[in-house]
Amino acid sequence: GAVVSQHPSRVICKSGTSVKIECRSLDFQATTMFWYRQFPKQSLMLMATSNEGSKATYEQGVEKDKFLINHASLTLSTLTVTSAHPEDSSFYICSAGDRRNQPQHFGDGTRLSIL
Amino acid sequence: KQEVTQIPAALSVPEGENLVLNCSFTDSAIYNLQWFRQDPGKGLTSLLLIQSSQREQTSGRLNASLDKSSGRSTLYIAASQPGDSATYLCAVHDSSGGGADGLTFGKGTHLIIQP
């Protein structure tokens, strides 16, 4: 079945570092991918919709200059957390679906810890 | 704005019991509803997807129902096993955004099956 690969799975870095997370659809093309964030004991919250070949659409309250999204090809979307701070520590997860009425497939997530 | 609520937040039962997890959503204009499983520190595994026109879906020991008009879904797990221990998430795909929107998640039900 369709698979989404996310890398890296774990990042620990110092405050002020920029961190890039990759999300790849392995056996299907995804014109749209989604990025979520999950704080401890909270729901997954949609951060942004990544659109191939155009600008990402950000949810209210998500800083687009802080969370840079690039969707340069039909199989790859990247999320860059720029100048990360401890409050950005969270679990980030991406998803993609090859068809609207089919299940979204999720990556394994990236646990980001900013010291 | 769509809100998804899951009850109970946590559940611990002995192995072999049948159990029901509940999900409710505030806006009935949905494309579909999806149940996921999340193991600690891991990504999401899709369990069942119910289209808005469907009433239920079954996969093995899992059965999910959908009552769109009342904004409710249940996930029934038969003959529970310790391996079923995980957090179960309910998510809806809104139809108001033309299908390009991400999912709205509940906070999940943390399930423990005692051996």
More confident residue, A38 or A66: A66
What is d(CA B95, CA A108) in angstroms, rounded to the nearest whole number?
Answer: 26
pLDDT classification of A29: cutoffs 50, 70, 90: confident
Q: CB atoms < 10 A from the CB of A5, how many?
A: 14
Residues facing A93 on adjacent strands = A36
Average pLDDT by consecutive 10-residue portion of chain B (115 residues)? 93 96 94 90 84 94 96 98 96 69 88 96
**Residue B102 and residue A96: Cα distance in Å, rounded?**
9
pLDDT band at A32 (very low <50, low <70, confident <90, very high): confident
pLDDT exceeds 70 at position A87 = yes
Residues 18-77 of A with CB under 8 A from B: 32, 34, 36, 41-46, 49
CA gap A49, A41 in Å, rounded: 23
Cβ contact (<8 Å) for B43 and A102?
no
Q: Could you tell me if B106 and A43 are in contact, meaning their C-beta atoms sit under 8 angstroms apart?
A: yes
Taking the C-alpha atoms of residue A27 and residue A30, their distance in angstroms, rounded to an integer, is 10
| Bridge partners of residue B43, in order along the sequence | none
Burial of B10 per CB tally in 10 Å (0-12, 13-18, 19+): exposed
Which pLDDT belongs to residue B23?
98
Shortest distance between the Cα of A24 and any Cα of chain B, in A, equals 14
* pLDDT value of residue B97: 54
State how far the Cα of B108 lies from the Cα of A31, in Å rounded to an integer: 28
Average pLDDT, chain A: 89
Q: Which residue has the higher pLDDT, B97 or A103?
A: A103
